[in-house]
A = this chain, B = another copy of it.
């Protein structure tokens, strides 16, 4: 046997991972996901940090929710989001690593959860 694994399995995994990449392959969703690696964040805070207008933000958050990548928690009037897929954190850290963005890898000086 020349192949290291069944081609179907390879294709199956490629489909899974490419689906995840597709969810992240959008400017706003990527911004959101990056912001969330810093910890749980409220929607209005996300709006301020990413500069994404609210309806867009909300829609992209919905997509991230549907993809199972984030989850939400309501606290009175506010809704707080956080990453809910450990793979995502690793992936984003790798992205920051590779592309020199902010994030833990780059050593930032910002606090979080100061509201």
Residues of A participating in the B interface, judged by any CB pair closer than 8 Å: 2-5, 7-8, 10-11, 13-19, 21-22, 24-31, 34, 49-51, 87, 90-91, 94-95, 97-99, 101-102, 108-110
B87 in contact with A11 (CB, 8 Å): no
Please state the number of chain copies in the assembly. 2
How far is B5's CA from A51's CA once the two chains are assembled, in angstroms?
12
A101–B87 Cα gap in the complex (Å)? 13
Q: Is the CB of B50 within 8 A of A10?
A: yes
Which single residue of chain B is at the shortest CB-CB distance from A2?
Answer: B110
| Residues of the B chain whose Cβ atoms lie less than 8 Å from the Cβ of A102 | 4-5, 10
Residues of B within 8 A of A7 (CB): 49-51
**Residue pair B14, A30 in contact (C-beta under 8 Å):** yes
Is there contact, CB below 8 Å, between B17 and A99? yes
CA distance A24 to B110 in the complex (A): 31
Q: Is the CB of A24 within 8 A of B27?
A: no
| Among B3, B13, B87, B95, contact of A17 (Cβ-Cβ < 8 Å) | B95
